[in-house]
Chain A
């Protein structure tokens, strides 16, 4: 009787113990998985999220079905075919010289048609896409002319609004450009209008003031991603080699895909690399015993860094033309 009870008690004790052990294992797994979840998905929405949705400017809103912004070719972008070639080359030279002395960028765009869009909406889209003017100085001017609608607009960068006020811009349109356009003298209108615009903003900025363009100081999001992934990998790998391998095989290409977006072949190779890393990285750690530290992260990160070396390639990197000037809707419009 008593021995029976004893056995029973012992049995309950055993099951209780194993239950406890099992629960602690569950908790452990849960913790590991939640950390892994963070490590893979968290960084996607951290500062690095810019990479996933590359600077979707106002200009590329889905409803922008009307006229598209053409690529920026130079100072004179005569898509509307309104100027003679001599005028074009003359204005190119003038505007280039003006930028060299004053650092102010003046760009002319002619389009055949606005396709139903108000010229104000179109020109701000152009301004946002081209980013004429230097970052921080916002010294850009865009003269937009639509041939079919007979509308024009001078879009003025924020830095020049003091000199080239809406009023001045309106007067240049009304008194300088419009009369010539009305007569059909487009070449004369562009030349005189450009001269008037240059006169209006001359001296506001000079080339000597122009410092190096401000650089964005944010750390590469790849670094954060890798740090997270590395920790997740180690945790999974310390539970089971296979689990670590699988996580590595999936995680590494996933990170590469999210940040750099390389070809399928590279993704597969990265997957293999991740698999190997997932299996061996944890054993490196356990093998190293006490001596493990943060140092081990960096070789891994380094080898990946070379793989993702050329990401970015932003809209305005490297070019001094269209360097990030900001427009706030200043300027004036008119017709002829």
Chain B
């Protein structure tokens, strides 16, 4: 019996040492946070491009006040939500974030459709540069979102599978994280083509 208890202590020690998935879950959560940082950075990058874009378009397309205003408003909304933060741990804030970014995307693509009617604007080097940057940013957003979803999936799996789930419910109390859902206009970067 004594030998048995010694062995048991050994077993417990080893289990504690390797953590019953404790470390894995922590690592995965950090990975999700890092991926989220990339997502935010990519969206922020897009947001930073908007004022310039609006400025350039305004110079050529004065009559498109409504479209321009929609973009500016969407930008303001996105900004206020991003400033709030905490979207990663709060499903409600997360869906708000996603919604705001989606409305930003659709306002932008409407603007770019409108621009089609202004050949002078399209020929403007400044505008073309912005357009390339916008394209690049949309692509980064796309990549960052995909990677974020993958990290979330990994994390969510790791807190559910067996010994980890035990550790989680006893010690860590981590909750599953939300992933981006594919939606019209947000899953695929709007095609910015001229």
- For the complex, what is the distance from the CA of A42 to the CA of B147, rounded to whole Å? 28
* Count of CB-CB pairs between chains A and B under 8 Å: 99
Contact with B18, one of A28, A47, A58 (Cβ below 8 angstroms): A47
Q: Mark B1-39, 1 if CB is under 8 A from A, else 0.
A: 001100110110011001111011000000000000010
In the complex, the chain A residue whose C-beta lies closest to that of B24 is: A47
Let me know if B20 and A47 touch, CB within 8 A: no
In the complex, the chain A residue whose C-beta lies closest to that of B10 is: A231
In the complex, the chain B residue whose C-beta lies closest to that of A45 is: B161
Interface residues of B in 83-113 (CB under 8 A from A): none
In the complex, the chain A residue whose C-beta lies closest to that of B150 is: A58
Return chain B residues, CB-CB under 8 Å to A35.
8, 11
Let me know if B7 and A167 touch, CB within 8 A: no
- For the complex, what is the distance from the CA of A167 to the CA of B132, rounded to whole Å? 6
User: Is residue B139 within 8 Å, beta carbon to beta carbon, of the partner chain?
Assistant: yes
Interface residues of A in 304-328 (CB under 8 A from B): 327-328
Return chain A residues, CB-CB under 8 Å to B118.
none
Let me know if B14 and A231 touch, CB within 8 A: yes
Let me know if A329 and B140 touch, CB within 8 A: yes
- Contact of A332 with B8 at beta-carbon distance under 8 Å, contacts A58-B150, A120-B142, A231-B14 already known: no
Binding site for B on A (CB under 8 A): 28, 31-32, 35, 38-39, 41-43, 45-47, 49, 58, 120, 124, 165-167, 169-171, 224, 227-228, 231-232, 234-235, 238, 285-286, 327-333
Binding site for A on B (CB under 8 A): 3-4, 7-8, 10-11, 14-15, 18-21, 23-24, 38, 42, 129, 132-133, 135-137, 139-144, 146-147, 150, 158, 161-164, 189
Q: List 25 A-B contacts (CB under 8 A).
A: A38-B15, A38-B163, A42-B162, A45-B158, A45-B161, A46-B19, A46-B20, A46-B24, A47-B18, A49-B24, A120-B139, A120-B189, A165-B133, A166-B137, A170-B135, A224-B18, A228-B14, A231-B7, A232-B11, A235-B11, A238-B7, A286-B3, A329-B136, A330-B140, A331-B139
Known: A28-B4, A31-B8, A327-B143. 12 other contacts (CB 8 A): A45-B158, A45-B161, A46-B18, A46-B19, A49-B24, A170-B129, A170-B132, A170-B136, A238-B4, A328-B143, A333-B135, A333-B139
